[in-house]
Amino acid sequence: MADTLKLVKKISRLAEGKKNLRLMEVCGTHTVAIFRSGIRQILPENVELVSGPGCPVCVTDDDFIDKAIYYARKKNFIIATFGDMLKVPGTRSTLAREAANDARIEVVYSPLDCIELAKKNPRKSVIFLAVGFETTAPTQAATVLTARAQGVKNLFMLSAQKLVPPALKFLLGDESTKVDGFLLPGHVAVVVGADAFNFLATDFKIPSAVGGFEADEILTALKSLLEQIDSGQIYVANDYKSVVTNEGNLTAKKILAQVYEVTDAVWRGMGEIPASGMKLRDEFAAFDIERVEPVELDRVEKKSACRCGEVLRGLVKPTDCPLFGKACKPLHAIGACMVSVEGVCAAWYKYGGEKFNF
Percent of the chain beyond pLDDT 90?
Answer: 84
CATH of 58-163+249-292, one of 3.40.950.10, 2.60.40.3880, 3.30.70.580, 3.40.50.11740: 3.40.50.11740
Residue 355: per-residue pLDDT: 44
Start-end ranges of CATH 3.40.50.11750 in the chain?
2-55+164-238
pLDDT bracket for residue 2 (50, 70, 90): low
Statement: residue 196 has pLDDT above 90: yes
The string of pLDDT tens digits covering residues 160-182 is 999 999 999 999 999 899 999 99
Which CATH topology does 2-55+164-238 take?
Answer: Rossmann fold (3.40.50)
Q: What mean pLDDT value characterizes the chain?
A: 93
Statement: residue 288 has pLDDT above 70: yes
Burial class (CB in 10 A: 0-12, 13-18, 19+), 291: middle
Start-end ranges of CATH 3.40.50.11740 in the chain?
58-163+249-292
Burial class (CB in 10 A: 0-12, 13-18, 19+), 230: middle
Statement: residue 354 has pLDDT above 60: no
* Range in 48-62, 106-120, 213-227 with the lowest mean pLDDT: 48-62
Residue 358: per-residue pLDDT: 32
The string of pLDDT tens digits covering residues 16-49 is 999 999 999 999 999 999 999 999 999 999 999 9
The string of pLDDT tens digits covering residues 231-284 is 999 999 999 999 999 999 999 999 999 999 999 999 988 999 999 999 999 999
Residue 332: per-residue pLDDT: 85
